[in-house]
Amino acid sequence: MAPVSAARSGVSRRAALVGLAGAAVPGLLPLYAVAAPAPAALSRPALMSPKALGAAMLAVTRAGSRLVAVGERGTVLLSDDHGQHWRQAAVPVQVTLTCVAFADERHGWAAGHLGTILHSDDGGQTWRKQLDGIAAAA
């Protein structure tokens, strides 16, 4: 039988160490999950800024005749003149919102990163957080 080269045996030792380290980590994961604070983006309101009109918007829908668009950093934009002019709505989170839907002209939901679900009962003018991934996991 031929001797194993030093380089090959080094790889084997590294693979064994990585395997042992990987086996130890799952036991520590619950400690990290419990100790990790909720991301600030879930507790801080979206910044109200004239620059919000230039934010990347990821979804748009109608709430009656109003257009409601959602996008990055919790930005929600509203237009009552078919998109000619837009204004920013008050949103309680800074997470990126990826989808929006309205059941009628007043009641709508938006969802986004970190498992965030928002609800509006005034046509998108104001939003309340209904759920996020941290609360759902608890």
Report d(CA 67, CA 112) in Å as an integer. 18
- Contact indicator for 74, 114 with CB cutoff of 8 Å: no
Residue 27's pLDDT is what? 47
Type of residue numbered 88:
Q
pLDDT tens by residue, the chain, 138 residues: 555 544 444 445 444 434 434 444 444 445 444 546 788 999 999 999 999 999 999 999 999 999 999 999 999 999 999 999 999 999 999 999 999 999 999 999 999 999 999 999 999 999 999 999 998 888
pLDDT at 37: 73
pLDDT score of 38: 80
- pLDDT value for 22: 44
**What was the pLDDT predicted at 34?**
54
pLDDT of residue 3: 53
pLDDT of residue 9: 47
CA distances from residue 55 to 1, 11, 16, 40, 134 in whole angstroms, order as listed: 66, 48, 48, 20, 26
Instruction: Kindly report the three-state secondary structure assignment for every residue of 55-105.
Output: CCEEEEEEECCEEEEEEHHHCEEEECCCCCCCEECECCCCCCEEEEEECCC
